[in-house]
Structure 1
Amino acid sequence: MIFVTVGTHEQPFNRLIKCLDELKANNIINDSIIIQKGYSTYIPKFCKYYDFLPYDVMDKYVREANIVITHGGPATFLMPLKYNKVPIVVPRQQKFNEHINNHQVKFVKFIEQQNNNIIAVYDINRLGNAIINYKKTIKNMNNGEHSNNEIFNKKFSKIVDGLFH
Structure 2
Amino acid sequence: MIFVTVGTHEQPFNRLVKAIDDLKKNEIIKEDVLIQTGFSTYEPKYCQWSKLIPYQQMVNNIEEAHIVITHGGPASFIMPLQMGKTPIVVPRQHQFDEHVNDHQLEFARNVAERMGTIIVVEDIRKLEEYITNYDEIVTSMQHGMNSNNAKFCEELEKIVEEM
Contact 1:116–1:145 (CA<8 Å) still a contact in 2?
Answer: no
- CA shift, 1:162, in A, is 4.0
- Name the CA distance, whole Å, in 1 between partners of 2:69 and 2:43: 18
Normalised by the length of structure 1, the TM-score is 0.95
Unpaired runs of 5+ in structure 2? Answer: none
- Name the CA distance, whole Å, in 1 between partners of 2:31 and 2:87: 16
RMSD value over aligned CA atoms?
A: 1.0
- Name the CA distance, whole Å, in 2 between partners of 1:106 and 1:74: 12
Normalised by the length of structure 2, the TM-score is 0.96
Contact 1:13–1:40 (CA<8 Å) still a contact in 2?
Answer: yes
- CA shift, 1:161, in A, is 3.8
- CA shift, 1:127, in A, is 0.3
Unpaired runs of 5+ in structure 1? Answer: none
Contact 1:115–1:145 (CA<8 Å) still a contact in 2?
Answer: no
- Name the CA distance, whole Å, in 2 between partners of 1:37 and 1:75: 16
SS class of match (2:69): strand
Which segments of structure 1 move beyond 6 Å, counting only runs of 4 or more? Answer: none
Could you tell me which residue of structure 2 aligns to residue 96 of structure 1?
96
SS class of match (2:49): strand
The count of corresponding residues between Structure 1 and Structure 2 is: 162
Return the letter of the residue paired with 2:125: N
Within 5 Å, give how 1:35-114 maps onto structure 2.
35-114=35-114
Return the letter of the residue paired with 1:83: M
Identity %: 50
